[in-house]
Amino acid sequence: MKSTIFGLDQSQTETLVNKLNVLLANFQVYYQNVRGLHWNIKGKNFFELHVKFEELYTDAQEKIDQVAERILTLHGSPLHTFNDYVKLASVPVGKNVSNDVEAVTLVVESLSELLVLEREILNLSDVANDEGTNSMMSDFISEQEKVVWMMNSWLG
């Protein structure tokens, strides 16, 4: 077994880097979605949702940076082109969404997709004994599950 500088299995680390890049691509699409929702939301829930979407895109931007830096820490290269993001992303794309229910539903669907990817990475990082990635995914999952719960409560 070839090891990394951190004593992790090289092959498992490469797999993690690839999966983290998929997560990065999906976070970038999610970020653009909530940015667009922030800009385009209309209706009686405008003030409430405009602020919430700003909170969500700010959080996404921080997570994007954390994922990219984790990839670099594991001696990988984070993807950084929209072409790469579009090819790898499975998060639904929201275009010109201004309706409150449609917007919140898009957030729930997007976060649900991110959670699937994060759980996959959590399992892989556990097997690889990569506590850094494991801890990050665990934190992301618990935060996003709460947002999904709150958004679903809002949807009724």
Average pLDDT of the chain is 97
Q: Is domain 10-155 in CATH 3.40.50.300, yes or no?
A: no
- Kindly list the domain boundaries of the chain, sorted by start residue: 10-155
| Claim: this prediction has a pTM higher than 0.85 | yes
Count of alpha carbons within 13 Å of 48, Cβ hemisphere only?
Answer: 9
Contact 28, 137 (CB under 8 A): no
Residue 1 has pLDDT above 90, yes or no: no
3-state SS of the chain is CCECCCCCEHHHHHHHHHHHHHHHHHHHHHHHHHHHHHHHCCCCCHHHHHHHHHHHHHHHHHHHHHHHHHHHHCCCCCCCCHHHHHHHCCCCCCCCCCCHHHHHHHHHHHHHHHHHHHHHHHHHHHHCCCHHHHHHHHHHHHHHHHHHHHHHHHHC
At 93 the pLDDT is 95
- At 26-49, the pLDDT tens digits run 999 999 999 999 999 999 999 999
